Amino acid sequence: MQVEQEKNPYDLSDAELQSLYNSGPEQTIGFIKLILDRLRKVEEEVTYLKSIISKDSHNSSKPPSTDGYKKKTKIKNLRKKSKKKSGGQKGHPGVTLRLSDNPDETEHLPIKNCSCCGESKHLIVIGKKRRQVIELEIKKIIKEFQGDIAECTGCGAITTATFPAYVNQDVQYSPLVKAIIIYMRNLNFIPTERLTEMFADVFHIPLSEGTIYNTIKKCSNILKPFDDYVKAKLLESPIVHFDETGMRIEQSLHWLHSASNELYTFYFPHKRRGKIAMNAMDILPHFNGTAIHDSLPSYFAYTCKHGLCNGHHLRELIFVNEELGQRWAKKMLDLLIEVKGKVDKAKAKGKTINKKLMLYYEKRYKRIIYEGKRENPVVPLIACDQKKRGRKKKGKVLCLLDRLKTKFLQVFAFMYDILIPFDNNQAERDIRMGKLYQKISGCFRTMDGAICFFRIRSYISTLRKHKINVIISLKNIFEKGQFSELTTE
């Protein structure tokens, strides 16, 4: 039995088209509108799919790891070429291995025969040639504490010597071993199973996964006061960078929020991305400085000053220029880079650019926005779209134009105040480690585990920004059993 194929409603014969034409203008116009609407939707869908395919790390916020093996787009560096040669500049201290005056071991290498005649009787030592090898000694050390037990002959009481505070069991790992566990797990993202193998192979120490989890939990509990400490420091800062990225926690999408500056970092995992999470993080509701972010609408719910990341804008403008061929985007791209160059030169002298130049850039900026609006007119709603509920989608280009127009002061914040950076690279560098951890070690099974990990990571990131030795600091908090304010060592 042959099944009839369903006929395409737009595949009409000449006779059917003639019949439609004869049915009157209303039917014909309605059919034409239907066809045009369908064509418009197909065109929008094709444009949208093309935009997805053509996006990569150079014209969007996608990371380079998502570019795949396709041929790389030749990226034009947005920074102007300087006259300096590549490599270290004059006056750069440099780092090289130098001979030590006090070697730990010395091995004497005698000369047995003359390299010319082969004789050994006439050899006289006239000097020494020194060469040194930097070696490691990896050795498990078991340290025993023997506390005296004494009996008082007067009252008969038995007294036991006091052990160090961190020695509270018959056998346990030292603060240094625990510090190395945290260093390897939370700083270098070594998964627990591989960490147990490493300790067995390198240090000859049998380490269980349970010990690793207990050590992380204990470190996190000691560092609980650090949360309030670092938040207080960030609230005192005139500029704080904010960002958020998706994380897999408890088998579902969560968000890792970060607040940071050049000295302090605070991470906060939460189920939500917007204002609920930001309120729970408890920084933005009390912050009075300038928040640098990527224009997520939730940030503008807070009364602090705002500065937008122009790194995002540059990538979006590259896409609009290269993929959609819109000239206004190239002009805006060049303008932002030009303003940044002028501001950087003035900043090097501790000044801002003069007000006349600011006014000139503002006028150019508004003209480019006007040109972009003319190139992207708003399409009027047709009858079938007017019946649909909700707000009509504008598209990426119109959204970008509207943002640049309405957030003009936040885009140019770096021009008005030399303390405000051009982009949000500080937050992006700080939060990148969340994605790196997820690629190496996978997701978090529990929210408690995520909180412990990111609290310790906040502390480690802050130590590194202060140029404080991480292992020594971790060893100290295990020895003292408490967190103390940071002091540069």
Mean pLDDT, residues 325-344 taken together: 94
pLDDT band at 142 (very low <50, low <70, confident <90, very high): very high
pLDDT band at 235 (very low <50, low <70, confident <90, very high): very high
The residues spanned by each domain of the chain are 312-382+393-416
Helix or strand or coil: residue 160?
strand
The answer on pLDDT for 57 being more than 70 is no
Per-residue pLDDT tens over the stretch 89-135: 777 777 788 889 899 899 999 988 888 888 888 888 888 899 999 88
Q: Identify which of 200, 204, 58 has the alpha carbon closest to the alpha carbon of residue 142.
A: 204
pLDDT band at 330 (very low <50, low <70, confident <90, very high): very high
pLDDT band at 489 (very low <50, low <70, confident <90, very high): very low
Residue 59's pLDDT is: 62
Per-residue pLDDT tens over the stretch 250-302: 999 999 999 999 999 999 999 999 999 999 999 999 999 999 999 999 999 99
Mean pLDDT, residues 171-182 taken together: 95
H/E run at residue 28: helix 25-54
β-bridge mates for residue 158, sequence order: 151
Widest CA span in the chain:
126
Per-residue pLDDT tens over the stretch 339-365: 999 999 999 998 999 999 999 999 999
Instruction: Please count the residues of the chain.
Output: 489
Q: Which two tokens stand for residue 483?
A: 């967190």
Using a pLDDT cut of 70, give the percent of the chain over it.
Answer: 87
The residue among 150 and 36 whose pLDDT is bigger is 150
How many CA atoms, within 13 angstroms, populate the side-chain half-sphere of residue 244? 22
Residue 30's pLDDT is: 80
Provide the residue type at 92 as one letter.
Answer: H
Per-residue pLDDT tens over the stretch 439-477: 888 889 999 999 999 999 999 999 999 999 999 999 999
